[in-house]
A and B are shown apart, each in its own frame.
Chain A
Amino acid sequence: MSAELIALSAKAAADAMASGDLDRTEYFEAYRARAAADELNAFTWVAEEAAGEPVDGELGGVPLAVKDLFCTEGVPSQAGSRILEDYRPPYTATVVEKLAAAGTVLLGKTNQDEFAMGSSNENSAYGPVLNPWDRTRVPGGSSGGSAAAVAAGLAPWALGTDTGGSIRQPAALCGITGLKPTYGTCSRYGMIAFASSLDQAGPFARDVTDTALLYRHMAGKDPRDATSVGHPDEIVLPTAQDLRGVRLGVPENLTGEGVEPGVLAAFEAALEQAKALGATVERVPLPHADFGLSAYYVLAPAECSSNLARFDGVRYGMRAEAADLTSMYTRTRHDGFGPEVKRRIMLGTYALSSGFYDAYYASAQKVRTLIADDFAKAFDRIDFLVTPTSPGVAFGLGALTDDPLAMYLNDYFTVPMSLAGIPAISLPCGLSEGLPVGLQLAGPAFSENRLLDAAHALEGALGFDGSAVLGTNPRGGDGPVGPNDGGLVG
């Protein structure tokens, strides 16, 4: 029975619960049991029961996995860091509150790279997450726990955050769908910050419809977040079956260099599918996109060096005992932060220092503007930009941990959209070496409805089958259960 429930899309389950065909407790318990038996280290905390009174809403009764860095009242919210070990906030993040108001039930908190800094989930103080497609590989990051949990059927859907690719890249590596919305459409209040001008909450789901459904209840202006603007349109569920009249653009500088051949092959096959659905594909110049990574690795560390200054051991979280204040600060931050976090704090502190500001921070902001202008020009000619989400498939645990620059290259295709603040979705488009490949579609600011529609049409044509990993044991166990089309399957 459990396999049937797990194969249900979130929307199908919500509809079934609303009509009384599915029992809320049974459904929640099916997921709760799987999450509690998590072998992927995807969860850092799992609910013991469905908390609170049941809410009748469009999402009524659907369990929700939440990335650790979303503050959740009374529940560990550790952002993957030792310095926040067992920190239980006195308040709940706005998007989590909004989703609860729409009926979701908190299932658990998911593992992540410490303070969302990483592309492999190996930077978590609570251990790496394993990729359900191959447990010797990483799930991607930083929202690795959320992506792995959804792919493995430990959660119907999940919340993540994306700063430079932290939703799209793990979605790609785990074979699910992930949306990084337009900056400002979802509140950041209660999201433990990495880089404020880039951080954005977004949904993970096993199909585009569920992605749209979750996002629809996340978006909205929040008076507690001055940078939130909400969405000008109501988010509707996608229905498109073709791409007639849709103009797709492939960046000119995407030559295949640095992209794995299997990834490139899957990407090109997907482009053929798009054409078959009626889309046109052309090359578009993005002259400054190549500088995106450099700009990102100045701006994001600069902001994080400031955002993480509050973790001083004075008011909450870990405190190292020491004889005087300075030693307490030093010891707390030395013991509490992991090496990647320290690296970025140092990078960012340097970039903001007197005498270096113009050379680094100010220059990177100019690059950011140029990249945004590039996108704006491209969107005069095309509707969406398409790229592989990540240059490679999931890599081996430990393969890149000694080479931060190679690790940073994972964000090559995802960072420019973050810098421009525009929405981008990753959906699985095939397998390479038996591992999922992600296709990224990016559109102009606030184009989520059109973007989701295009992704929906492609999803139908691509027919990606992620069911192989929905079982608790991806190397056997339940086995394939058929296409994940949102209906009941056997």
Chain B
Amino acid sequence: MTPAVEYETVIGLEIHVQLATRTKMFCSCGLGFGEEPNTRTCPVCLALPGALPVINAEAIHFGLMIGLALGCKLNDRSIFDRKQYFYPDSPKGYQISQNEDPLCSGGELGGVRIHRAHLEEDAAKTIHSGGGGGRIQGSAASVVDFNRGGTPLCEIVTEPDITSAEQAGEFLRLLRTTMRRIGVSDVNMEEGSLRCDANISIRPVGQQELGVKTELKNMNSFRFIERGIRAEVARQEGLLRAGEPVVQETLHFDPRTERLTSMRSKEEAHDYRYFPEPDLTPVTITPEMLERARAAMPELPAARQARFADELGLNPDTAKLLAWRTELGDYFEAALAEGDADAVPLANWTTNELVQRLGADVDPAGSNVRPAALAGLVTLVTEKKITAGAGKTVLDKLVAEGGDPTAIVETENLAAMGGAEELAPVVAAALEAQPDVAARIRGGDMKPIGAIIGAVMKETKGRADGKEVTRLVREQLGL
């Protein structure tokens, strides 16, 4: 019996990012989000006879920023092409996209090489009703909402560098936070402002040649993407192990049933008949445009993560959490600047206690806790003016009502107890009250010391320092 073949996974991603420009890609309509259908339209995005497209300068600007964020080569001359396909969501009968001369080529993000990034326009939305399960075949009626039609998109294509579902998810999360950081998109998968298709193939470990790939389309959450990729890798491996070939096709993953269904095979593939869009002239990137894009670039999450770790000494997970959640990182840095709290405890209080109290997706900038207040609180704790436990009580109060931590400590009488002279009588009283426990400790069994500490804490309303209590217990029992 020959040993079982080991397979490795090869994944490339195609990501569509909806750009949050003021107007559509080729006309001056505002972007539509949840308005009445067909109210954000004009002759251009409805493709009325005679209407012509004009390139949105802000979309080019955002495209350049994306190129900078992904380390791409920004091409000083790029060309829009017509990609022909016939469907009601494509009112012109073609999509204006970029084919051979994209705005950005090459690049890298999070260890994954970027093949290219180009600009194009989004399709309108078709809604099929009356049978057919949401598909056009078998439905009684179809309606089209052109509000979304013409929304600027940036399509980002990676090289086939990704080797697992987890890595795909991690890359997409970094991409999302990077896009959010540079402010070009809402990058919300559920709302469709971030969409991802995955090209997946497997091959025996050591084989150079790529296996036959399939394309997994339109997955609308990170979780579904990872699950879809895992399901498809398992399906392909099953086929190959059974001696059957993988067929090149486009697949749809149903997250409810975990089933993959074929949308179309290679034979049915479109001939898009690309040719340069004659209604537009080539895009020329001037040094001024480049300078403007560069000037607009904030520090990117990957660089920020490295800075938090290297310069502030945060641990890797905390650094990543603060860097990838832009608003959290901004809040943390504001607090760091406004007070004199140490970075590490401040970072921990931000990512643990504060996030826990506010909820994982809430921007702390909008909460009752001002950055200076959190910084002040952390300083009180690190300087042992209050205990960590009292600090949490103060934070509860800050989250609920805002205010100044020092004032809260005062009014709630939460200041840490002074030194041994204040605490010693309390410890002595606790030991006296529980003589059996005291005896066990004296005999060398430290386990029940918790009962003594608990009693002291109760008596002092948590203001006592646990370590000091332990020291005093040992001292008073002569250990």
Residues of chain A whose beta carbon lies under 8 Å from any beta carbon of chain B: 69-71, 77, 79, 84, 87, 89-91, 93, 188-193, 195-197, 223-227, 302-303, 306, 308-312, 314-316, 325, 329, 349, 352-354, 357, 361
Contacts and interface: CB of A to CB of B under 8 A. Distances in A.
Given A325-B142, A352-B273, A226 B50 contact: no
B238 to A, nearest CB: 33
B239 interface: no
A90 to B, nearest CB: 7
B94 A224 contact: no
B54 A226 contact: yes
A56 to B, nearest CB: 28
Contacts of A89: 43, 48-50
A37 B291 CA distance: 63
24 contacts: A70-B50, A87-B49, A89-B43, A89-B50, A91-B48, A189-B50, A193-B49, A195-B278, A226-B55, A226-B280, A226-B281, A227-B280, A306-B94, A308-B93, A309-B93, A309-B94, A310-B91, A310-B93, A315-B48, A316-B48, A325-B136, A329-B86, A357-B273, A357-B274
Nearest to B47: A310
A315 B86 CA distance: 14
Contacts of A193: 49-50, 279
Contacts of B91: 310, 314-315
Nearest to B53: A226
Interface string B273-293: 111001111000000000000
Given A196-B278, A303-B278, A325-B136, A309 B50 contact: no
Given A77-B50, A325-B88, 7 more contacts: A188-B52, A189-B50, A226-B279, A309-B92, A325-B136, A349-B273, A353-B273
Given A196-B279, A197-B278, A314-B144, A306 B84 contact: yes
A87 B48 CA distance: 11
B46 interface: yes
Contacts of B268: none
Given A197-B278, A306-B93, A226 B52 contact: yes
Question: Quick one: which of A93, A193, A226, A349 has the most chain B CB within 10 A?
Answer: A226
B82 A306 contact: yes
A309 B84 CA distance: 9
Contacts of A69: 50
B271 interface: yes
Task: Report whether over half of chain B's contact residues are helix, strand or loop; otherwise say mixed.
Answer: loop
Contacts of A84: 49
Contacts, number: 103
Contacts of A357: 273-275
Interface in B71-129: 82, 84, 86, 88, 91-94
A335 to B, nearest CB: 17
Contacts of B281: 226-227
A314 B149 CA distance: 15
Contacts of A308: 93
B400 interface: no
B51 interface: yes
A402 to B, nearest CB: 30
B52 A225 contact: yes
A309 B272 CA distance: 13
A33 B192 CA distance: 58
Contacts of B55: 226
A315 B47 contact: yes
A190 B275 contact: no
B125 to A, nearest CB: 14
B275 A191 contact: no
Contacts of B88: 312, 314, 325
Contacts of A223: 54
A142 B54 CA distance: 28
B271 A224 contact: no
A224 B86 contact: no
B84 A315 contact: no
A480 B398 CA distance: 98
A410 to B, nearest CB: 24
Contacts of B280: 226-227
A451 to B, nearest CB: 25
A354 B273 CA distance: 6
A302 B52 contact: no
B52 A71 contact: no
Closest 7 CB pairs of A and B: A309-B93, A196-B278, A352-B273, A197-B278, A190-B50, A192-B49, A71-B50
Given A90-B43, A227-B280, A314-B91, A361 B48 contact: no
Question: Quick one: which of A84, A197, A223, A306 has the most chain B CB within 10 A?
Answer: A306
B93 A93 contact: no
Question: Quick one: which of A84, A188, A192, A310 has the most chain B CB within 10 A?
Answer: A310
Contacts of B136: 325
B50 A353 contact: no
A79 B43 contact: no
Given A310-B91, A310-B92, A310-B93, A191 B86 contact: no
Contacts of B92: 309-310
Contacts of A315: 46-48, 91
A352 B49 contact: no
Nearest to A191: B50
Interface in B224-276: 271, 273-275
Question: Quick one: which of B46, B50, B84, B273 has the most chain A CB within 10 A?
Answer: B50
A189 B54 CA distance: 11
Given A309-B86, A325-B88, A361-B275, A189 B51 contact: yes
A192 B86 contact: no
B150 to A, nearest CB: 14
Contacts of B279: 193, 196, 225-227
A189 B26 CA distance: 13
Nearest to A189: B52
Question: Quick one: which of A87, A195, A311, A352 has the most chain B CB within 10 A?
Answer: A352
Contacts of B49: 71, 77, 79, 84, 87, 89, 192-193, 310-311, 316
B48 to A, nearest CB: 6
A249 to B, nearest CB: 29
Contacts of A227: 52, 278-281
A117 B50 CA distance: 16
Nearest to B89: A314
A349 B82 CA distance: 13
